[in-house]
Amino acid sequence: MSTPHETFRATLLTSTPDGERATVIITRQGQGLDARVWVTFSGAWATTAVMTDADAECLVRFVSDARKACR
- Supply the pLDDT for residue 70: 74
Determine the pLDDT at residue 4.
87
| Per-residue pLDDT tens digits for 20-71 | 999 999 999 999 999 999 999 988 889 999 999 999 999 999 999 998 887 6
Say what the pLDDT of residue 22 is.
94
Predicted pLDDT of residue 1 = 54
| Whole-number pLDDT of residue 24 | 96
3 by DSSP, 3-state: which?
coil
Distance CA 1, CA 53 (A): 20
Do residues 39 and 52 touch, judged by C-beta distance below 8 A? Answer: no
Given a contact cutoff of 8 angstroms between Cβ atoms, the answer to whether 27 and 2 are in contact is yes
